[in-house]
Structure 1
């Protein structure tokens, strides 16, 4: 499924968002999913290890501006990522949040959760150790492959 590229983006942007820069390879990112419309990469300020951002490739400021088909694809991928983080970290649930205040590019947060406290964004801790992020990314990639989604999981 591919979203119509002719749908206008509702807000003019003077420069690419930090997420577009990550998607375009201009900034580093730990990708765990790539398809024609959506990418997923680990947050550098995670709620918990495995905290993943589900991001449409095209820039929209808010999830309420996404064409319905693209919003559906974002949520479908978020569900798969949720299954992956539950499996990779043996979490009883995966939490999902859409806030959108940090970066003006629509994104969905998916993270392994054990309680509501795990969704407290005031507790995020930037990760300074790249090995920690690399290990978490590989753990999630492995889980996604085991769940049968290998064709969308990049090698690194």
Structure 2
């Protein structure tokens, strides 16, 4: 059965898409730790990041870097943190979290955003990707 992320990639579940290419997809986390919290995923459904073949792994890191650089341009933050946890969805995903405090990396504090705020962030980040 397809993961929720595969359903997002296929358009079966809506998302606030930030970036996409033939192998990867980035979208805003709907339960964000901070404004701009983004998930980067390979389109190929693989549970664990270290089970990715090396080319896909390196491609995911390169794709994530582009998205992180765009986040830094449009979200007021000290830096963009990266986390790979992978316990909640069995589909490799990289969390990119704009940070101003360590507490934003704990996954215990969440921010609430409106649909309009999500759309505005997604559009701005997408436009900033080089």
TM-score grouping bracket, smaller chain normalisation: over 0.9
**Structure 1 residue 69 corresponds to structure 2 residue 55:** yes
Give the secondary structure class of the aligned counterpart of 2:108.
helix
- Gapped runs of 5+ residues in structure 1? 1-14, 150-156
Q: TM-score, normalised by structure 1?
A: 0.79
Which has the higher Rg, Structure 1 or Structure 2? Answer: 1
> What's 1:137 paired with?
122
Deviation for aligned residue 1:21: 0.2
* Partner Cα distance (2:22, 2:126) in 1: 18
Count of residues paired in the alignment: 130
Moved over 4 A (4+): none
- Gapped runs of 5+ residues in structure 2? none
Q: Which residue, out of 8, 15, 35, partners 2:21?
A: 35
2:35–2:111 contact (8 Å) kept in structure 1: no
* Partner Cα distance (1:81, 1:117) in 2: 22
* Partner Cα distance (2:15, 2:51) in 1: 25
1:1-156 mapped onto 2 (5 Å cutoff): 15-125=1-111, 127=113, 129-144=114-129, 149=130
* Partner Cα distance (2:38, 2:102) in 1: 17
Deviation for aligned residue 1:92: 2.1
Deviation for aligned residue 1:126: 5.7
Q: TM-score, normalised by structure 2?
A: 0.94
* Partner Cα distance (1:64, 1:125) in 2: 30
